[in-house]
Amino acid sequence: MQWGDEGKGKLVDILAQKYEIVARAQGGANAGHTIYDTEGNKWKLHLLPSGILNPKAKCVIGNGVVVHLPSLLEEIEGMEARGVSVEGRLFISSRAHLLFDLHKEIDGRREEELAGTGKEIGTTRRGIGPAYASKAIRNGLRVGDLAHPDAFAAKLRALALDGQRRFADFDYDVEAEIASYRAIAARIAPYVSDTVHALNEWADEGRSILVEGANATMLDLDFGTYPYVTSSNPSIGGVVVGLGLAPRRLGATIGVAKAYTTRVGAGPYPTEIHGELADTLREVGAEYGTTTGRPRRVGWLDMVALRYAVRINGLTHLNLTKLDVLDGLKEIRVGVGYRTPEGDLPTVPADLETLERAEVVWETLPGWQQDISKARTWEDLPENAKKYVRFIESRLGVHVKWIGVGPGREAVVLKPLELPVGARS
């Protein structure tokens, strides 16, 4: 619901134990989901849906995802080496666009061009933006193209010309790539299917489907802090477009938000914390990227951005994660408004110039200064921790149903519904 890295993989893992199908709708291997199972084992996922850890769940990589097949095969091999089989359980959309090493090369070179200008996007350099650009200008290749080797080769040669024309010293062996994808095509073929048809058939049969988001609403291409955003729609609309499921299919919409905020990469960040406190929270919260290992920027909860995300996505429930990271604080600040010389802003503005000069309106709540990592019921939490959660609920008008108090699957508190009638939705 914010800038990402909010622990959604953990909730998907918990919920996936009860679902028959788990699907990814957008993004690519720039997304990283870290999960700790009941035995304390750590799992890092990038392209595979988090439901892969439920041996009974079918997992779908939808048409809206951009897929780097060598990375996906490596991830599959890593899972199978640890005893998790994807055989008969993984379905890759034939409509999903392929991300090639040339996209990664272009991504890195574009960031290097911006270096020192103050306009660096701070991408993961995984080629996500260039892959979606290929899709948008209609010279991209899709998973289904692998079934036609000659046409695939011709299309990839044409795509490689883009990089060669854009960068004078662009070094990319397209013939070697074509040869490697002939072998990849055979390995990936058992997983490729028409997932649009399959998902709708499963929905018609009444099968339970869980859609797993990647990235974050404030990084949404349309609704985020553009241009410091990802290249897809991680908001609710991406589900419809990225899977081919009609809006009427959608049921509960669950948002995941940290009890504070983090952000990776460049871009405005109104409630950012600097100095020793930021360093402390970063260490306590292990705020380093799953995919890149980069240290995350850290900030206080931003209720303006969170209300904005709640409205766009039509949330029915919220999962508040990492509440335990705030255990040692005497006071907790919350950004509750943006103020400019022209007046208060009712929501997140579209232009960054306005956002960057806005002053944050703060409220300060008392901390609880005790370890909550062993709490397993709402009653186990200290009163000030409850007050903090209730404060968030009252400002959003959304039930905070799950509260994360540690990294493990079992470290979750279920909160009873207490919202007053007529609360904001």
The answer on whether 4 is annotated among ligand-binding residues is yes
Locate all alpha helices (DSSP H) within 22-148, ordered by sequence: 69-81, 101-114, 128-136
Looking at residue 60, what is its pLDDT?
98
Looking at residue 122, what is its pLDDT?
65
Inter-residue contact 242 to 64 (CB < 8 Å): yes
Looking at residue 203, what is its pLDDT?
97
Give me the helix-helix angle, 303-313 and 383-396, nearest 10°.
50
Which residues of the chain carry a pLDDT beneath 70?
Answer: 118-120, 122, 290-291, 419-425
Nearest to 109 by CA among 46, 47, 162, 181: 162
Q: How far apart are CA 183 and CA 185, in angstroms?
A: 5
The answer on whether 323 is annotated among ligand-binding residues is yes
3-state secondary structure 296-327: CEEECEEHHHHHHHHHHHCCCEEEEECHHHHC
Inter-residue contact 21 to 209 (CB < 8 Å): yes
Looking at residue 420, what is its pLDDT?
60
The answer on whether 349 is annotated among ligand-binding residues is no
| Sign of the torsion formed by the C-alpha atoms of 261, 266, 272 and 277 | positive
Inter-residue contact 10 to 409 (CB < 8 Å): yes
Determine how many CB atoms are found less than 10 A away from the CB of residue 285: 22
The answer on whether 32 is annotated among ligand-binding residues is yes
Q: How far apart are CA 70 and CA 76, in angstroms?
A: 10
Looking at residue 105, what is its pLDDT?
86
The answer on whether 302 is annotated among ligand-binding residues is no
Q: How far apart are CA 346 and CA 337, in angstroms?
A: 8
Residue 199 backbone dihedrals phi, psi, to 5 degrees: -65, -40
Looking at residue 424, what is its pLDDT?
44
| Sign of the torsion formed by the C-alpha atoms of 376, 379, 383 and 389 | positive
Looking at residue 421, what is its pLDDT?
39
Point out the residues that are catalytic.
5, 33, 135
Domains of the chain, start order:
1-250 (3.40.440.10), 252-425 (3.90.170.10)
The answer on whether 256 is annotated among ligand-binding residues is no
Determine how many CB atoms are found less than 10 A away from the CB of residue 366: 14
